[in-house]
Amino acid sequence: MPIKSRIRTIPNWPKKGIMFRDITTLLKDPVGLRICLEDFINRYKDKNFDVVIAIDSRGFIIGGVLAFVLGKGFVPIRKKDKLPSETEKQEYQLEYGTDTVEIHKDALSKGQKVIIVDDLLATGGTSLAAVKLVQKLGGEIVEVAFIVHLPDLGGGKKLEKEGINYYAQVSFEGD
């Protein structure tokens, strides 16, 4: 799939030793964006689920389109203090400290089946926090989907350890 060649790699950003995978080059390319979206649409069009949940902020780009095309509801998971109503919160570890994501308490009904989408799976911190939020609200996770997976950082293994299925369109291993 030609998605990988459309993702720019920026060495030493945001700090030395990091190979940053920049999906903005994929998103600005109409052919690349179409391939990316059609892949997700084809993967999920026959799956039994109710809601697309997207993680702030690049997950919104894919999640909104996916929900619209598949006729599903859309629920955002936002960074702390960005949602206006009562929220459920989940803290997760960063390299130096912690961060928090939130979902509205009334975003899901118990037993609703969801697909969670985000742009990138690295250490799995944000993804696992999103999973825990969905579980707190009684939702059932069908799959967590990503454009990019960085398997060397262990996020995929963490999701598997929790019994969570995931899908990534491309992987960047060992580079």
Q: What sign does the dihedral 58-54-96-149 (CA atoms) show?
A: negative
Query: In this structure, how many other beta carbons lie within 10 angstroms of the beta carbon of residue 45?
Result: 11
**Does the predicted TM-score (pTM) go above 0.85?**
yes
Range of the domain at 100: 47-171
Residue 8 lies in a domain: no
| pLDDT given for residue 97 in this prediction | 82
| pLDDT given for residue 25 in this prediction | 98
Residues of the chain with pLDDT under 50: none
Residue 106 lies in a domain: yes
| pLDDT given for residue 94 in this prediction | 79
| pLDDT given for residue 109 in this prediction | 97
Residue 25 lies in a domain: no
Contact present, 102 and 80 (Cβ < 8 Å): yes
The total of structural domains in the chain comes to: 1
The CATH number that applies at residue 145 is 3.40.50.2020
| pLDDT given for residue 174 in this prediction | 72
| pLDDT given for residue 110 in this prediction | 98
Residue 26 lies in a domain: no
So which residues are the catalytic ones?
A: 58, 95
